[in-house]
């Protein structure tokens, strides 16, 4: 209290206001996590974080959105609901702030720890496992393989792997593990100039793996690490990152929940707003032995029979229709030939000129040589009258 002695009223008021600001900042820094939600519902209330997602089911887009809780997804490279297994060995830097959801006070933490903390605050319903090691080393690759093999919610393999790494070596490690375990995975990336990117679905044996068609620089035997120059970093545009990440998550949802078409390869060229798509076939002489093995297994399977989808589109049923609004088909019915003839006849009678009174007969009919003179005389009389 001795520190307050001798202070004026204005100084005391300023001190109280300063303490109130510090208290508010302290309270805001303590993030309050909502309790976990046991059952996903479509109830439209402000407190339901899944009401918008469950609307996809009500609109007939997704058959069973609750199924998302049964999936386990491994994310390699940290830069839904269910389970996330995060792999990365890098630390958060202030240079990462321009494109990631990390916060400045998390600088120095491992990326997986920082990501786990932030994601847990956003959605505590997600079970998150962190793996802070480099998957490209021989010692850690076996750990990575074992995690993918047993990381599912029921102790089985994960449902899908998302590769978000930025180098060829790490992509090959993911490719090798997924070929060996026969796990489907998505590969994604953004070019060094930050204005183009892509996502690619890789199904072992059915589509080309990442080693089937390596980049020209790697195929030429050039060490990838020798390409990087000291003091030079790749460009990073957060909008491009966001677009590619959005495509990746969207196609992952379509793949897991089985709705819509999943494009095998989708590119994005920002300078021209161009979205190229293609399908890459596997290389029979691929350097990866597990890729060749999966190709043989795929070739031995019975070919899928092309069948027409006999399901009729279910009518969209809305929960509330208090006004009894219904849709009426405004397509004109096909008229019969007799009906068309009758319609044409009625239209013709309406449009045809009506018969008038009998025409007045000419007062005189002239003929012979006096015709012209008689007409001229009559014309003069009319003009004078």
- Residue positions annotated with a catalytic role: 233
Q: Which residues pair with 85 in a beta bridge?
A: 74, 129
**Is residue 268 a contact partner of residue 275, using CB atoms and an 8 Å limit?**
yes
Kindly give, in sequence order, each residue whose CB lies less than 8 Å from that of residue 344, ignoring residues fewer than 6 positions away: none
User: How large is the angle between the packed helices 168-181 and 289-300, nearest 10 degrees?
Assistant: 40
Burial pattern 64-95, b for ≥16 Cβ within 10 A else e, equals: ebbebbebbbbbbbbbbbbbbbbbbbeebeee
Q: Which residue in 251, 259, 303, 252 sits closest to 277, CA to CA?
A: 251
200 and 264 Cβ atoms separated by less than 8 Å = yes
The residue ranges of DSSP E strands in 230-295, in sequence order, are: 265-269, 277-278
Cβ neighbours of residue 298 closer than 8 Å, sequence gap 6 or more = 205, 206
| C-alpha dihedral (98, 102, 104, 108), degrees to nearest 10 | -110
Retrieve residue 109's tokens: 């933490």
* Local structure of residue 293 (DSSP, 8 states): H
- Residue for token pair 């044409």: 344
Strands 277-278 and 265-269: antiparallel
Give the Cα separation of 79 and 164 in Å (integer).
8
- Are 81 and 337 contacting, i.e. CB atoms less than 8 angstroms apart? no
């Amino acid at each position: 209290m001795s520190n307050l002695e001798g202070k004026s009223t204005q100084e005391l008021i300023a001190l109280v206001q300063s303490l109130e600001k510090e208290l508010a900042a302290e309270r805001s820094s303590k993030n309050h996590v909502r309790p976990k939600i046991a059952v996903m519902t479509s109830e439209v209330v402000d407190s339901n974080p899944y009401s918008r997602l469950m609307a996809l089911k009500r609109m007939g887009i997704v058959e069973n959105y609750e199924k998302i809780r049964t999936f386990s997804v491994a994310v390699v490279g940290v830069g839904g609901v269910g389970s996330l297994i995060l792999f990365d060995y890098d630390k958060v830097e202030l240079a990462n702030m321009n494109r990631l959801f990390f916060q400045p006070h998390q600088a120095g933490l491992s990326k997986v720890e920082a990501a786990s903390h932030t994601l847990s605050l956003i959605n505590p319903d997600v079970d998150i496992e962190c793996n802070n090691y480099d998957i490209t080393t021989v010692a850690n690759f076996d750990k990575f393989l074992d995690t993918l093999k047993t990381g599912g919610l029921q102790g089985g393999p994960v449902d899908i792997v998302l590769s978000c790494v930025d180098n060829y070596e790490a992509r090959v490690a993911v490719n090798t593990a997924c070929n060996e375990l026969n796990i489907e995975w998505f590969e994604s990336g953004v070019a060094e100039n930050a204005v183009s990117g892509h996502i690619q679905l890789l199904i072992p044996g059915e589509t080309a793996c990442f080693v089937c068609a390596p980049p020209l620089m790697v195929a030429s035997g050039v060490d990838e690490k020798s390409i990087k120059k000291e003091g030079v970093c790749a460009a990073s545009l957060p909008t491009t990152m966001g677009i590619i990440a959005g495509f990746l998550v969207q196609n992952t949802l379509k793949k897991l929940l089985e709705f819509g078409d999943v494009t095998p390869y989708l590119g994005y060229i920002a300078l021209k707003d161009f979205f190229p798509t293609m399908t890459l076939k596997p290389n029979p002489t691929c350097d990866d032995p597990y890729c060749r093995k999966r190709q043989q297994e795929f070739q031995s399977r019975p070919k899928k029979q092309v069948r027409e989808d006999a399901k009729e589109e279910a009518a969209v049923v809305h929960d509330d229709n208090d006004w009894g609004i219904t849709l009426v088909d405004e397509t004109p019915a096909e008229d019969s030939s007799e009906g068309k003839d009758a319609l044409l006849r009625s239209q013709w009678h309406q449009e045809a000129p009506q018969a008038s009174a009998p025409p007045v007969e000419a007062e005189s009919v002239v003929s012979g040589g006096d015709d012209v003179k008689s007409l001229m005389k009559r014309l003069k009389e009319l003009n004078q009258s």
